[in-house]
Structure 1
Amino acid sequence: MLVISAKSGQLGNRLLLSANFMAFASENNFTVINPAFEEYADFFSSTYQDFLCCYPSRPFSIAGNKWLRKYYYNINRYLAESGRFNTINIKRDYPFSWSNSTSITQELKSQSINFFQGWMFRDGWFIDDISNLQKHGEKIRAYFQPLKKYQLNVEKLISNIRSQADVIIGVHIRHGDYQQHQNGRFFYLVEDYLKVMESAQMLFSNKKVTFLICSNQRQNDDFFQHLSYIYGNNHIIEDMYSLAECDYIIGPPSSYSMWASFYGERPLYMIRDVNKMLEIEDFVHFYQWQGVFHYNEDWSKSFWEWTH
């Protein structure tokens, strides 16, 4: 049994982390318990009725609530740090990969509980394990289907846009926390996003392009008046899964838009140069990502440089 006993990042990171554990478990006949998914469990059909957040899903489970999930997470944190069980700590000084971490996999005890803590699979850190994500992608996507009410809201939004557009390009404008994240390395002004959007629109000169704008901060309508656009529903799940339904996705390096690309199997352009004139080949499917990791002794300054 593999237990994710420590939280890493926000929604996108937790989903990618969970997906990598699920793919590894499928390959090696393990069960995954994910108490660290507690804040987001109530959004998804498979975890809504299971406070353990177990994969594979069990035929019988106990529904959770916020109090129960938090209590269970705290218990697992205590057990992981108690020294009574096999606890595997993933260091932050290099990208973690199941395929390249022989020492980690050798620590696993197949007939025991294995607690995991540490920052894993953040953004590009899972890049060596993409083949397993692809192999088990259908099961992972089925597990992380949102509740029906969120699906219906997404369907309504996308249907409305498709009735008026030939091409939908989702744009993830990440402001708020990105102004401080890695000293603002990936914080782009609205004017910068506009350059990229206008360049993308030129790729479809003979078609009606509508942009679906999703952001963690309210945007000024005046910037977008010369474009055909619509805002997302301003809901953490509905925006992510609406991006997954677009034909193309644009965003800064972020696990949020990367999950949308994975879930919807849609090509993503991860912004690295706001002045670049886009080509259609710049939109890359999730399984085609390539990158180089730049290590820094100050882990917060380590980053992935996406090369494709």
Structure 2
Amino acid sequence: MVVLTKLYGQTSNNFLQFIHLDSFCRENNIPFHSPYFRKYFDQYPALQSYGVNYSKVLMKFFIRTKLYKEFSFVDDTQISAYKNAILTRKRLFCEGWYFSSKETVEKNRSLYQQLFTPNIDQQDFHNKYLKKENNETIIGVHIRRGDYKEFQGGEYYFEDDVYIDKIKQLLNNLNTPHKVIIFTNDDALNKANYTQHFNVLFSENPVHVDHFLMSRCDYLIGPVSSFSLWASYIGETPLFHIRTANDVVTLDKFKICDGNWF
């Protein structure tokens, strides 16, 4: 049995961490539990019937009394050793970001598409954001500000002119009518910078709704982030990650995320 004792990072990281451990355990018939995943039950009801209900009290007792040592996934060069620990230990309490099971994550994509079906009125959001009046290509754009000003020295923090340039490059490749949906954590975003160039909508919805909408776009553009990776994985949506302001956008550079982040 494997019990995940801590969720790593924010929502999208939580989901990616979950599917790698869960799919590997599933492939090897090992029970897997993630007690803190209860916080997602309201947003994703299918998770309630899934095996994540190991007692948090019991888990904390085992760790506090040192009856079981907490195992940490902290080194991406040790994944083989981590897999061996899961396969050979009767009960493993674990935490950390650097566990990866690429083959099983890709194999079980359809399962996670079901488990992470959001508790929303999909038709209502489709009509509001995704309906195509003139067979438009729908482009989801993730503008990450806030914490990205400092994250890795601001490497993936881009100003509006960069996003506008990348959208225009994609449109030049497509040469079709378009609709742009912008997803951002920037409450002070200058929307006029975008409305003057594009047919654009701005999503101001919770994370689980944004993930759904992004997953239903035709293309996704955004900085390197697990937020757009998750949407691409769950929706099988082509994604272009902006790594530098000088990146050139071509259709062959859009990739569907296979669930892996390194």
Whether these two folds match at TM > 0.5 is: yes
Aligned length: 260
Looking at structure 2, the residues matched to 9 and 288 of structure 1 have their Cα atoms a distance apart, in angstroms, of: 16
Corresponding residue for residue 146 of structure 2: 176
**CA spacing shift, 1:22–1:172, aligned 2, 3 Å:** same
Q: Structure 2: any 5+ residue segments left out of the alignment?
A: none
Structure 1 residues 84, 174: CA separation in 2 closer, same or farther (over 3 Å shift)?
same
2:66 corresponds to 1:90 = no
Give the letter for the 1:267 counterpart: P
Give the aligned partner of residue 191 of structure 1: 161
- Name whichever of 227-236 and 111-120 sits farther off: 111-120
1:54 and 2:51 matched:
yes
What is the TM-score normalised by the length of structure 1? Answer: 0.76
Query: Residues 82-105 of structure 1, C-alpha deviation per residue, up to 9 Å, x if partnerless?
Result: 3212531122xx326xxx633223
- 2:7 corresponds to 1:7: yes
Per the alignment, residue 94 of structure 2 pairs with: 116
Task: Tell me the TM-score normalised to structure 2 length.
Answer: 0.88
Provide the aligned C-alpha RMSD in A: 2.5
**Distance (Å, rounded) in 1 between the aligned partners of 2:214 and 2:202:** 11
* Counterpart position of 2:180: 211
Q: Specify which of 127, 132, 143 is matched with residue 104 of structure 2.
A: 132
Q: Is the 8 A contact 1:6 1:77 kept in 2?
A: no
1:232, distance to aligned residue in structure 2 (A): 1.6
User: Hey, what's the Cα distance between the residues in 2 that align with 1:285 and 1:153?
Assistant: 26
How far apart, in 1, do the equivalents of 2:97 and 2:103 lie? Answer: 21
**Distance across 2 between alignment mates of 1:185 and 1:75:** 42
Task: Give the Cα separation in 1 of the matches to 2:61 and 2:133.
Answer: 52
Counterpart pick for 1:104 among 67, 72, 82: 82
Q: CA deviation at 1:155?
A: 2.6
Say whether the 8 Å CA contact 1:8–1:14 is kept in structure 2: yes
Gaps of 5+ in 1: 56-60, 62-68, 292-303
After TM superposition, the structure 1 = structure 2 runs for residues 237-276 of structure 1, keeping only pairs within 5 Å, are 237-276=208-247
- Kindly, what percent of the aligned residue pairs are identical? 24
Larger CA deviation: 251-260 vs 80-89? 80-89
1:295 alignment counterpart = none
Seen in structure 2, the aligned counterparts of structure 1 residues 74 and 192 have a Cα distance that, compared at 3 Å, is: farther
Give the deviation of 1:150 after TM superposition. Answer: 5.0
